[in-house]
Amino acid sequence: MDAVFLSRLQFGAAAFFHFLFVPLTLGLSILVAIMETKYVRTGDEDYKRMAKFWGKLFLINFAIGIVTGITLEFQFGTNWANYSKYVGDVFGSLLAIEATLAFFLESTFIAVWVFGWNKLSAKAHAACIWVVAIASNVSAYWILSANAWMQHPVGYTIRNGRAELVDFFSLITQKFAVLSFLHTVSGAYILAGFFVMGVSAYHLLRKKEVEFFKKSFRIALTFALIFSVFEVVQGHLNGAEVAKAQPTKLAAMEAHWETEKGAPIAMFVIPDEKNERNRVEIGKIPGALSMLAYHNTTAAVVGLKDFPKDERPPVLINFLAFRTMVGLGFLFMLLTVIGWFRRNKLEDSPRFLKIMLYAIPLPYIAIEAGWMLTEIGRQPWIVYGLMKTSDAVSPIAASQVLVSLVAFVVVYTALGIVDFYLLFKYARKGPEVAA
């Protein structure tokens, strides 16, 4: 095992873990803000209890998202020094602006929100959680612009032996950045919606605080429904953009080997990477891949075989990750549509509630699958078409990375267990009794 492999594993583990917590932060902050705004508008104490109950779960989750984000920023330097040297002029500013513009705001105002219930007016207090919600989402925009640049580098020129910035504006306005942002935050909103619906379902099934959880469920349902529908439509645009910007990723996620016109999508495939073909292909829809990629059933889609072997990403994992993400995406739309028709008779729909309870992990799986496709599908490049991952690593001993990798796994596993234990504990406990 070399430093490249271990560093990839370490960054992957750290990013994977970080993103178990960030989506709930992004979505739940908005839901809590909506609840507290309703409290300010109506004066209904139930909404205040709601903001407090969901806010507590938000905070338990928030802390880990924050502390694990720091290690990601610093790993570009510790493990990917050659990357940082080569592209830092372009890439570094995005991370620095994220910290100055957004991270400060969310970290400062979350404390004001926590400690300010009795100190601030109701309106000012609600404004604090909006600041946190907006800052978290703005933060996501900068981070995703940085990632989008790794997926599709723009606005730079090669000068002085490195990539140098020539057009800052294009980094943050390029289509890839906008689409990744919309796709990622929508996924996060779906996740938060399903989280609130699932926890509410748990209590509704036990007939505890029925009014409280019905209200919570409905707010989350509306939110999740909007973004589940949006995500399916928007995801299609993402696919088309990947086809244009990253043809190797498209080919790998579809296990598409031969260049052909009117390329099909098969429902079930067993890829055989060694022999550069698919062992089994069932349920082909002719022209579907061409349609997906180029909005034209007869367009030619380049197959993996037409790319040099050392420029192809692994097939099976991307293929599975893509199918998992898309399949779950459609399921979320289905479940939220069903929910919409049952929204006024939730307590009479125990089976639906049970499904929603057990659906809590599904958006997590979908989001992590999406990131696996994004990152592994970009391989062997760290910056698509510009720099290979193998050239990006720091000049450090593999043994050192192995030690830190083990430390990451041990510490993060322990923290993850504690955090999920607390989330379960407080989710089950339910809100404080109304005064």
Partner 1 sequence: MLLNIWFFLWGLLWAVYFMLDGFDLGLGTLLPVLAKDDNERRVIYNAMGPFWDGNEVWVITAGGVTFAAFPTTYAVMFSSLYAALLIILFALILRGVTFEFRNKVDKPFWRAVWDWCLVVGSFVPALLFGVAFANIFKGIPIDQNGVYHGTLFTLLNPYGLIGGLLFLFLFLVHGSIWLSVKTEGEMHDRGLSMAKKLWPVLLVIAVVFLGTTKYYTHLYDNYFQKPVLFVIPLITVIALLATRYFVGKGSEWKAWFASSVTIVTATFFGIAGLYPNLFPSSIDPSYSLTIFNSSSSPLTLKIMLGVALALVPVVIIYQAWVYKAFGHKLTEEDLAYDEAY
Number of residues that bind partner 1 (CB under 8 A): 72
Is residue 70 close enough to count as binding partner 1 by CB under 8 A? yes
Structure-block tokens of residue 361: 């992990």
- What's the CA gap between 108 and 111, in Å, rounded? 6
Minimum separation from the CB atom of position 111 to partner 1 (A):
4
Stretch that binds partner 1, among 77-85, 184-192, 235-243, 251-259 (CB under 8 A): 77-85
Name the residue nearer to partner 1 (CB basis): 54 or 257.
Answer: 54
Nearest of 53, 423, 365, 107 to residue 219 by alpha carbon: 53
- What's the CA gap between 24 and 139, in Å, rounded? 14
Name the residue nearer to partner 1 (CB basis): 282 or 403.
Answer: 403
Name the residue nearer to partner 1 (CB basis): 18 or 249.
Answer: 18
Is residue 425 close enough to count as binding partner 1 by CB under 8 A? yes
Is residue 78 close enough to count as binding partner 1 by CB under 8 A? yes
Please pick, from the candidates 81, 226, 229, 338, the single residue that binds partner 1 as defined by CB under 8 A.
81
Is residue 82 close enough to count as binding partner 1 by CB under 8 A? yes
Please pick, from the candidates 24, 35, 60, 201, the single residue that binds partner 1 as defined by CB under 8 A.
60
Minimum separation from the CB atom of position 268 to partner 1 (A):
43
Minimum separation from the CB atom of position 318 to partner 1 (A):
29
- What's the CA gap between 267 and 323, in Å, rounded? 9
Which residues, in sequence order, are bridge partners of residue 266? 284
- What's the CA gap between 163 and 385, in Å, rounded? 13
Nearest of 339, 168, 322, 180 to residue 251 by alpha carbon: 322
Minimum separation from the CB atom of position 104 to partner 1 (A):
5
Contact of 26 with 140, CB cutoff 8 Å: yes
Name the residue nearer to partner 1 (CB basis): 94 or 369.
Answer: 94
- What's the CA gap between 172 and 174, in Å, rounded? 6
Nearest of 342, 373, 353, 37 to residue 187 by alpha carbon: 373
| Torsion of Cα atoms, 335 then 341 then 346 then 350, to 10° | -50
Is residue 66 close enough to count as binding partner 1 by CB under 8 A? yes
Nearest of 213, 252, 282 to residue 372 by alpha carbon: 252
Query: Scanning residues 95 to 114, which ones bind partner 1 (CB under 8 A)?
Result: 95-101, 103-105, 107-112, 114
- What's the CA gap between 428 and 202, in Å, rounded? 8
Is residue 288 close enough to count as binding partner 1 by CB under 8 A? no
Give the chain's radius of gyration (CA, Å): 23
Name the residue nearer to partner 1 (CB basis): 17 or 322.
Answer: 17
Please pick, from the candidates 5, 40, 73, 210, the single residue that binds partner 1 as defined by CB under 8 A.
73
Is residue 74 close enough to count as binding partner 1 by CB under 8 A? yes
Structure-block tokens of residue 297: 């059933």
Minimum separation from the CB atom of position 347 to partner 1 (A):
29
Contact of 51 with 36, CB cutoff 8 Å: yes
Minimum separation from the CB atom of position 288 to partner 1 (A):
43
Q: What DSSP state is assigned to residue 267?
A: E
Minimum separation from the CB atom of position 350 to partner 1 (A):
31
Please pick, from the candidates 5, 9, 16, 89, the single residue that binds partner 1 as defined by CB under 8 A.
89
Please pick, from the candidates 67, 282, 285, 365, the single residue that binds partner 1 as defined by CB under 8 A.
67
Name the residue nearer to partner 1 (CB basis): 62 or 194.
Answer: 62
Query: Scanning residues 198 to 257, which ones bind partner 1 (CB under 8 A)?
Result: none
Q: Match 């062997």 to its residue by tokens.
A: 380
Please pick, from the candidates 40, 154, 165, 226, the single residue that binds partner 1 as defined by CB under 8 A.
165
Query: Scanning residues 110 to 139, which ones bind partner 1 (CB under 8 A)?
Result: 110-112, 114-119
Query: Scanning residues 362 to 401, which ones bind partner 1 (CB under 8 A)?
Result: 394-396, 400
Q: Does residue 363 have a cis peptide bond before it, meaning omega lies within 30 degrees of 0?
A: no
Task: From residue 220, give the alpha-carbon distance in Å to each of 34, 92, 176, 261, 273.
Answer: 10, 36, 28, 43, 42
Name the residue nearer to partner 1 (CB basis): 108 or 259.
Answer: 108
Is residue 93 close enough to count as binding partner 1 by CB under 8 A? yes
Name the residue nearer to partner 1 (CB basis): 58 or 257.
Answer: 58
Stretch that binds partner 1, among 158-166, 268-276, 362-370, 373-381 (CB under 8 A): 158-166
Q: What DSSP state is assigned to residue 433?
A: P
Pairing outcome for strands 381-383 and 387-388: antiparallel
- What's the CA gap between 101 and 94, in Å, rounded? 10
